[in-house]
Amino acid sequence: MSHRPSLFKKISLVKKLFHLLVNCPRWQKSLILYFADSIVFFLATYLALIISSQTLLSFSIVQKHTVYIIPFICAKLFLFTSLGLYRGIVKYTEFGFLYTASKSIFLGQGLLIFISFILPIKITNLLPILPISVQVIDGLITLILVIKIRLIARWLLYSYKSPLKLTQPDQTNIIYQPKSRQTVIIYGAGQAGFQLYQALHQDNLFQVVAFTDDNEQLWKHLINGIQVYSPQKLEYLINRYQVTLVLLAIPSTTPQRKQQILTQLQNLGLEVKTVPTLAEIISGKVSIAQVRKIDICDILGREEVLPDKDLLALNITGKSVLVTGAGGSIGAELCRQIAQQQPRHLVLYELNEFALYSIEIELRETYPDLSCVACLGSVSDYERIKQVINKYEVETIYHAAAYKHVPLVESNPVQGVINNIYGTLVTVKTANECKVDTFVLISTDKAVRPTNIMGATKRVAELILQGLSKEKDTHTRLMMVRFGNVLNSTGSVVPRFQKQIANRQPITITHPDIIRYFMSIPEAARLVIQAGALGKGGEVFLLDMGEPIRIYDLAVQMVELSGLVIGKDIEIQITGLRPGEKLYEELLIEDGNAQKTIHPKIYAAKEAMIPWNKLESYLDQLFLAANSQDIDSLLSILKIIVPEYLGVRVVIADRRPGDPACVTADAQKIKQVLNWQPKHEDLDEIIASTIDWEKSRPT
């Protein structure tokens, strides 16, 4: 027992020493290799002498041959250095190193044997020459020991920093499967880059000609015989090797740095693809080999904050949760996130049969132990939604059901009011009647100073929750979460651009200066769940959307990173703003009114509301107008409930690019965001100017 403390100290000391060796600079590791190889050369020569003479050597013989061995070692070290053996990264030692090492050793041995024959006799008397048989044995032993040292070092390094475990790639999921061998550069000379190289090398689909990396310590080193270059050498490498594709193997880099790299590659006129993110690899869903096209998340450079596990679980774990609009983009992702938190029941409520079927099948396959039930129904159907809530004893509701496409709701205002406003009213009142604990409304930035009917209906839905939350008989915690565009949602701009690029069709943009906020669907869903856990009732939560993106710039990046040239391979067409479409979106009705919460990406806003008794009267009139299909009255009432909404429907027949099609609610905001000075700011002046312009047009 008394020896244990000293033993533990020794083990601890060894661990610390090993830690220092692993993490020391690369030049120090090279010096260690020089030293190790020098010892190997000594041992190899003496072992060769022992094997050749078949007896142990006396001290005098050892002393005699040491004079010869020292220059021999120097010659070997010089050859190893010249041929790049000390530029190789030990952790990534493979068969390429075996070839280089063999070549170096046998060249060295051959050179020394050659010198043995041509040196004058006087010199050979001073410098004893070993027999050729000894030199051949020496070369073989040297090769074995040099390789053995590197394999041991590689094993130790991998033991210290375990590599990512790769699953066998599912060939049906690999997006990129070229028909012929393609010349590529791998951007990233770390663990992911090496594993990607291995996967590509095995499949024989690509010819990797170079690595490039931001880490200066890796420059000029070799990975399996392939050199690592500075990113500044990319253009030279592309021209030299006729490279057509760059593969990004930097899954753990920051989104901001990835965006900078993509911007650099964008101007080089070649295709760029990437490996999955670190989170995707660790999850086991994909492997390094599954390179994919650059998507919008890569371009945006948005850094996500790790979710708060307690907030994610608070309203879900062990509870019965209902999601309306479960088949939509946000609704489906909410279901996926909720399923991970182990709810008692997950109730999918959806009107669209196919959408409901799709998400139900996906959840059952992914989470076989999940208690999941699919319910067809409309949010406007009081009896149906009450039956579902009571049957499954629902405790938390995420209300994602809504019509969201601006042009469709603009041309179908009655349906927009019934689904977005009446549906919300029915669902929230039923939830309160059935004593549901928490109700979270999924809102939109289009509800802020709306210029379209869809935005106005979502603002009214917010006002309903705000009004009811102040009523004494409201027991349910009511809150709403407002955010901007989500990436890759159905009908959104990104999938449309991707389809147009794939088909080489012109990319259509409504206005060259239109800007939007973007967020990935999974991030939005996680933040919605966390915001719902923060609320006490009546809050409007805003999600930090980052910086707005100019849609035109987004289209240009997507085209160029696909290896295409604008104006040559594909065109960008400006079609003109659609009715009700804004040049920009906002999240706050009153600027400067957002307050921080405990979550860095979630803010709470205190906004003006309408007392429930007054709002209820307006809603009665609104639903009466909707039921009678009286669109003019419907728009007038919307204007009363939401004063920021202009309620003006401007329709210009045969509208061309450049024709006026949209009246903006806040000219001052336009000037700030776009640095643009409007000719007229007053609504009457804008309409009068438009009429004069129409009259002046040749008929």
pLDDT tens, residue by residue, 192-217? 888 788 777 766 668 899 999 998 88
- 245 within 8 A of 227, measured Cβ to Cβ: no
CA distances for 254 relative to 258, 521, 682, angstroms: 6, 19, 46
pLDDT band at 152 (very low <50, low <70, confident <90, very high): confident
- List the strands of the sheet with 292-293, edge to edge: 222-223, 226-229, 206-212, 182-187, 245-248, 271-274, 292-293
423 pLDDT higher than 60: yes
| Residue 95: per-residue pLDDT | 55
pLDDT tens profile 555-584: 888 887 777 888 888 899 888 877 766 676
Mean pLDDT of 619-644: 95
- The residue-averaged pLDDT of 74-81 equals 75
In this structure, of 216-225, 336-345, 406-415, the range with the lowest mean pLDDT score is: 216-225
Label residue 683 by pLDDT band (50, 70, 90): low
- Winning range, highest mean pLDDT, from 377-391, 594-608, 646-660: 377-391
- How close are the terminal C-alpha atoms of the chain, in Å? 105
Q: pTM for the whole thing?
A: 0.62
* Residue 14 CB coordination number (10 Å): 10
For 112-149, write each residue's pLDDT tens digit. 677 666 655 444 454 455 677 777 788 888 888 877 77
* CA pair distance 194, 91, nearest whole angstrom: 10
**Looking at residue 435, what is its pLDDT?**
96
CA–CA gap between residue 30 and residue 14 (Å, rounded): 21
d(CA 390, CA 348): 14
- Name the pairing type of β-strands 226-229 and 222-223: antiparallel
If one compares 148 and 280, the residue with the highest pLDDT of the two is 148
- Weakest-pLDDT range from 223-232, 327-336, 450-459: 223-232
Instruction: Name the CATH architecture for the domain at 182-294.
Output: 3-Layer(aba) Sandwich (3.40)
Predicted local confidence at residue 76, as pLDDT: 73
How far is Cα 404 from Cα 424, in angstroms, rounded to an integer?
A: 14
- CB proximity list for 633: less than 8 A, separation 6 or greater: 621, 625
| pLDDT value for 178 | 41
Q: Catalytic pick from 76, 258, 319, 446?
A: 446
Q: Is the pLDDT of residue 168 over 50?
A: no
Which H or E run contains 48?
A: helix 26-53
pLDDT of 432 higher than 90: yes
pLDDT band at 655 (very low <50, low <70, confident <90, very high): very low
Provide the percentage of residues in the chain whose pLDDT is more than 70.
69
What's the pLDDT at 661? 40
For helices 612-627 and 453-469, the axis angle rounded to 10 degrees is 140
Return mean pLDDT, the chain. Answer: 78
The reply to whether 446 belongs to the active site is: yes
CATH superfamily of 309-486+520-565+590-641: NAD(P)-binding Rossmann-like Domain (3.40.50.720)
Question: If we measure between CA atoms, which residue out of 368, 192, 361 comes closest to residue 289?
Answer: 192
Please list the residue range(s) of the chain that carry CATH number 3.40.50.720: 182-294, 309-486+520-565+590-641
Render pLDDT for 509-559 as a digit per residue (tens, 0 to 9). Answer: 988 888 877 778 888 999 999 999 999 999 999 888 777 778 888 888 888
- Choose the most confident range, by mean pLDDT, from 55-64, 152-161, 384-393: 384-393
Nearest of 607, 651, 648 to residue 453 by alpha carbon? 648
Give CA separation, 536 vs 319, 395, 413, 587, in Å: 18, 15, 33, 21
Instruction: Examine the pLDDT at 289 and tell me if it is beyond 90.
Output: no
Task: Pick the more confident residue, 359 or 55.
Answer: 359
pLDDT at 302 over 70: no
User: Which of 184-193, 315-324, 436-445, 586-595 has the weakest average pLDDT?
Assistant: 586-595
Strand partners, 441: 399, 480
- The whole-angstrom separation of Cα 45 and Cα 137 is 8
Q: Between 132-160 and 95-118, two packed helices, what is the crossing angle to 10 degrees?
A: 150
| DSSP H or E run through 222 | strand 222-223
Contact between 403 and 454 under an 8 Å Cβ cutoff? The reply is yes
Point out the least confidently predicted range of 35-44, 91-100, 610-619: 91-100
Per-residue pLDDT, 174:
34
Q: In the predicted model, is pLDDT for residue 32 greater than 80? A: no
Q: What is the pLDDT of residues 487-516, one digit of tens each?
A: 766 667 777 888 888 888 899 898 888 887
Are 509 and 265 a contacting pair, CB within 8 Å?
no
Residues 6+ apart with CB under 8 A from 211: 185, 186, 187, 188, 189, 193, 197, 218, 223, 226, 227, 228, 229
Tokens of 598: 């405990």
DSSP 562-631: BT--BTTTB-EEE--PPTT--SS--S-SSTT-EEE-SSTTEEEE------HHHHHHHHHHHHHHHHTT-H
Cα–Cα nearest to 552, from 574, 576, 579 = 574
Cβ proximity of 59 and 32 under 8 Å: no
